[in-house]
Amino acid sequence: MRILDAAAQVVSEAGLGGATVRAVATAAGVGMGTLRHYFPTQRDLHDEVVRRVLEDTIQDFDIRDASRDSGDRLVRCMLQFLPDDATAQELLNVWFGLYRHALEPGANGLSRQFLEVAIQRAHRRVGDWLEILADEGAVDRGRIPELVLLLNAVISGVCLEIITPGSAMTLGAARNIVSGVIRSLIVKETR
């Protein structure tokens, strides 16, 4: 959609705060009324931009391939929430900065909104993966809400530990921890 393409461009150039209805309408070459038709509020526009960015970056990989080991599939999906070796420190600093800006006293609404939408989308995506595995009998469907929180807490915890000065946590150790937690949740291995 042209409006979302324009909004993404505005955000990349001016940040989420620069993605005003007027700026996006101008960049998209549409009138304010047209933009308001699709996005009645600035929050609706921002939520959709965040959703789109996350949907474009979070992959499902082979989660639907029931011929592969269920633990391996979920591990692969979850590990994408950790940075790779080359960009680890930079990405973790951005991640921590996002939380800091959103949660510090006097934080602006846009920072909080971005974090809220990002967390909701990540939780929904993890829940979708767990639903697929529950359909195969690999995880207990009744525990999915709890498991979503657990897996996201593990990812957040290892990321915070990695950037904590003096911590012995490495990316390799973080990957092993995430993998171990996931494997402990699998009810039945599938192949």
Task: Output the average pLDDT for the chain.
Answer: 88
In sign, the C-alpha dihedral spanning 18, 24, 29, 30 is negative
| Domains annotated on the chain, with CATH | 2-41 (1.10.10), 58-185 (no CATH)
pTM for this prediction: 0.79
**Is residue 106's pLDDT more than 90?**
no
Q: What is the pLDDT of residues 39-59, one digit of tens each?
A: 998 888 877 877 776 677 789
Mean pLDDT, residues 25-37 taken together: 93
Mean pLDDT, residues 176-185 taken together: 97
